[in-house]
Structure 1
Amino acid sequence: MIDVAGAEQDVRLTAWVRGHVQGVGFRWWTRARALELGLVGSASNLADGRVEVNAEGPEERCRELLAHLRSGRSPGRVDSVVERWSEARGGASGFVER
């Protein structure tokens, strides 16, 4: 998104990652990629075996994180990634594993 002044606005990416992604360092790896990109948010294990990734920052950098999640270069095995885009909520600092 571009605001009226021409600056890129922050967005929120929520991604649900399915596969063998728990207990293999996937959240740590995701956190490292997000911090390299300057994003804030979290990576959390879900009860059904998926990992939920919430990231906020410039849209292009969030898209880069999404590409990393789908790259096949993460720990474990990613079978699918479902994404949802929304407005940034703000207020977060850093990127945490939950």
Structure 2
Amino acid sequence: MTESERARLIARVHGQVQGVGFRWWTRSRALELGLVGSATNLPASRVEVVAEGPREDCEKLLEALRSGRTPGRVDHVAELWMEPKGGLTGFVER
């Protein structure tokens, strides 16, 4: 894979990640990397992160989610890689 290859990352983050500024923090990291997508609260105290952009930058975001430097407490991050779908602008919190 080339560094410029585009990808879509879907990361489901499990742990204490709601009500602690996690989505805001994730949005900030994604925007720093130039990614587009969203961070959305899910049932069972999970957050789903969808990010599109260069695969290398999506991998950097995934690494940040697993870094131990996030707000709250991340117990597990499940990742799914897909072809980018496009149509996303900015990075939103839901």
Task: State TM-score, norm by structure 1.
Answer: 0.93
Structure 1 position 25 matched with structure 2 position 35: no
State the Cα distance separating 1:8 from its structure 2 match: 2.0
- Runs of 5+ consecutive residues of structure 2 not aligned to the other structure: none
Correspondent of 2:68 among 67, 72, 76: 72
Structure 1 position 93 matched with structure 2 position 89: yes
Letter in structure 1 aligned against 2:61:
L
- Secondary structure at the residue paired with 1:60? helix
Letter in structure 2 aligned against 1:18:
H
State the Cα distance separating 1:24 from its structure 2 match: 0.2
CA RMSD, Structure 1 to Structure 2 (Å): 1.0
Task: State TM-score, norm by structure 2.
Answer: 0.96
Higher CA-based Rg: 1
The corresponding residue for 2:45 is: 49
Identity %: 67
Correspondent of 2:58 among 52, 55, 62: 62
Moved over 6 A (4+): none
Correspondent of 2:5 among 1, 6, 9: 9
Q: How many pairs align? A: 94
State the Cα distance separating 1:47 from its structure 2 match: 1.4
Letter in structure 1 aligned against 2:57:
R
- Runs of 5+ consecutive residues of structure 1 not aligned to the other structure: none
State the Cα distance separating 1:9 from its structure 2 match: 2.5
Provide the C-alpha distance between the structure 1 equivalents of 2:31 and 2:44, rounded to a whole number of angstroms.
26
